[in-house]
Structures are given as C-alpha cells and as structure tokens.
Structure 1
Amino acid sequence: MASMTIHGLDDGLIQRLRMRAAAHGHSMEDEARHILRTALASSEPVAGNLADAIRTRLLSVGVVELDIPSREPIRELRDFTP
C-alpha cells in the first residue's frame, strides 16, 4: 500500500480531524483514510465545457427557434429634484 504526507494543513483543520476521529473512535490516520475513501467513492462526472453539456442534454428536445422581441429606445429619466 502507498503512503503519502500532506504538508501545510492549518491547525484548525488538524484539530477538527482530531475531534472527528475521537468521536468515531478512530486514529487521525484512520479517520483521514475514511474521509478520502468516502469522498472518492462516488463517481463524479469529469468537468467539461458547460456549453457542450447543455447542448448535449438538449439534443433530445430538438431545435427551438425563439422570437427575439424588438428593442425600444431607453426612456428618459424622471427628474425627482424638488
């Protein structure tokens, strides 16, 4: 089995890991292993281009043409000075 060392963890994170491990009756190493195992157990989709993901999802709907409303000139601002 491989080993790894993580440098640069802040004291607050270490303290929370210590407290969580104690609450579960584990060592800090066992708790960190459990956290990593749980976090990586779910197969998350690989990040990609958002536009491509939307396009792929909407392919089943087909092409939809939307009417673009005409634009009107900007109104003049009201004068609220007394």
Structure 2
Amino acid sequence: MATITVRDLDDALKAKLRVRAAEHGRSMEAEVREILRMTLLEDRSAIALGSRIRERFGGLAADDLLAPRASDPARAADLDR
C-alpha cells in the first residue's frame, strides 16, 4: 500500500471533508480513500444512459423540462440558474 501526503489543503475544504466523513461514519483518511476509489475506479461507460440523465437532471422541476411551443418567440438562455 502506498502513502500520500496532501499539503496546503484549504481549511474550508478540510472542514467539509471532516463533516462528510462523520456523516458516513468514517475517519477523514478513510473518507479520502473512498472518494478516490469512487472517482478513479468508477467506469462511467458502464452506467446506463437513463441513470446518467436522471443523475444530471433529477433535481429540476417539471416546469424546467417543458419544451417551448413553436409559436413562442425565441429568447436568450438564462445561464444564471
């Protein structure tokens, strides 16, 4: 097993890591191992397309998903949401 040291970790990031580790009942070190494992070993191509779409757009309200009518005038995209 290898050992790594992370220097200059932002205090806010460390605090979030501490909270996340506590939520999962793990030490901060174990939480970092799990984050790395999930991030680096996950095969995104193996996840079904429908699951990926739900993951990306699942938080949108139904009104956000409605297509405009053909008679509606064109409008600029709202990029601030």
* Structure label with greater radius of gyration: 1
Q: What secondary structure is seen at the aligned counterpart in 1 of 2:7? A: coil
Instruction: Give the aligned residue type for 2:23.
Output: A
- Any unmatched runs of 5+ in structure 2? 45-81
Match of 2:18 in 1: 18
In structure 1, distance between residues paired with 2:11 and 2:42: 28
How many residue pairs end up in the alignment? 45
In structure 2, distance between residues paired with 1:42 and 1:34: 11
How much identity, in percent, do the aligned residues show? 52
In structure 1, distance between residues paired with 2:40 and 2:5: 18
Q: What secondary structure is seen at the aligned counterpart in 2 of 1:4? A: coil
Deviation readout 1:21-71 (Å, 9 max, x if unpaired): 000000000000000000001347xxxxxxxxxxxxxxxxxxxxxxxxxxx
Spell out structure 1 runs of 4+ moving beyond 3 A.
none
Match of 2:39 in 1: 39
